[in-house]
Structure 1
Amino acid sequence: MSTSRMPLALRALRTLLWILAVFGAVGLALGLVGLAVMTEEEVVRETGVGRSASMAALLPGFALVLVEAYLAATLIRGGRARRWCVRVLAVLTLLSGLLGLLFLDVAGLFEVAVAVLLLALHESRSAREWYRSGTETGKPDGAVPAPTG
């Protein structure tokens, strides 16, 4: 078990994941509040579908926020599973952004940029070396390991 410190690129990635999770949670909460205060007719007029379908459409976003928060909280442990989860998350974010661009949504540009940034930080040389070193301490930087015996 290596005691090397998590590289700056991965610490920046963790921070970005926390930011995405917090803003995503706030956005979902505001969306739910908006759906709760609107009448059924207003919801249909704005979204083209009923309230239940609109709430169901928020579920993938909720799942994404949970994955982002989980990865941000556990990335320090390293490991293959987290490494692949970050890659899958970045690809899903990229596909979502490209789909948004297909429908002429300017927010798709932001998602594409975030996905590229996630991949760039995650696939940096220092991050690859850290993953290869087998770092799975799960302790904050500077923590003293517990005695064994």
Structure 2
Amino acid sequence: MTSTTSQLPSQHLAQEKQVTSRLVAALQQEQMLLSGNGDADEIPNVIGEKAKIVAEMAALADHRHKLLAALGFFASENGMQNWLDQHGTDADKKLWDELFEIAQSAREINRVNGLLVGKQMAINQNALKILQGRSGGGSLYGPDGSSSVRTTGRPLGVG
């Protein structure tokens, strides 16, 4: 096995970029499903795929952080930027910038997805309140199952 000090923190940036691009695609698919475009039953599959991708991203970042620490840099994104400023090639710097942009895109899509989930939860809560008879307008049905909706005015039917 190769020692960590003989490896460069930039050696897996292309792979990190590719994995982060996969995350963006999964988040976009999730957003489509959360927006009601597609089969909502697919959401758990997308969530599972996202979890795998995030675990892969975390492993790659952890490896990069260990390499940075072994070289005397902070084990962080700032440490990586410092390493690139001192030792990175133009290609490394370009990959890092592209990776950062893709990560920002993923963060924004994830933020919007969170809003969509919150919106859907509110809709579901309101539907449950209505079904449980806790809405502001009262229950549609009484405990005996008869309608409790009261109307005003004259009946429409002639008897």
TM-score between both structures, scaled by the size of structure 1: 0.32
Higher relative contact order (CA 8 A, sep 6+): 1
TM-score between both structures, scaled by the size of structure 2: 0.30
Structure in which a larger fraction of residues adopt helix? 1
